[in-house]
Amino acid sequence: MYYLKTEQSFDAAHFLKDYQGKCRNLHGHRWRVVAEIQGEALDTDRQTRGMLVDFGELKELLKTLCDTLDHSFIYEDGSLRPATLAALKEEGFRMAPVPFRPTAEEFARYFYEEITQRGYAVHRVEVYETPNNCAAYEGEP
């Protein structure tokens, strides 16, 4: 089995609604996303012969996904009052609603699913909230 890894990062703020700790407050991270794909056979096409996939394509996909969240305020749909949301939008803040609680664990699954939907055989995705704290998702075997 062959494995390839690439990584990207993005800076964004978030908070955890109904969390009883520091993370209930708005705060930011430099999120680091490491995506690993797998495959049993290398390509035989002239351009990508001897490669599992073109690193450039995989790298660009992960960068595009991360760029949609970069320098934004990530929040769970329904976690902000309409007036709060309207005020933030009126101020011109870049808002990034997600349909899940914005935890590292949920982001690991999110990136795994997004990359898989684009045709890659994803083995594992790791999301670091800090240099020392990481969540990973591997999906079903």
The set of catalytic residues is 23, 71, 129
Residue 115: closest CA among 31, 8, 48, 37: 37
**Using an 8 Å Cβ cutoff, are 104 and 130 in contact?**
no
Euclidean distance between CA atoms 47 and 76, whole angstroms: 42
Helix (H) or strand (E) segment spanning residue 15: none
CA distances in angstroms from 46 to 42, 43, 49, 50, 51, listed in the order given:
12, 9, 5, 9, 10
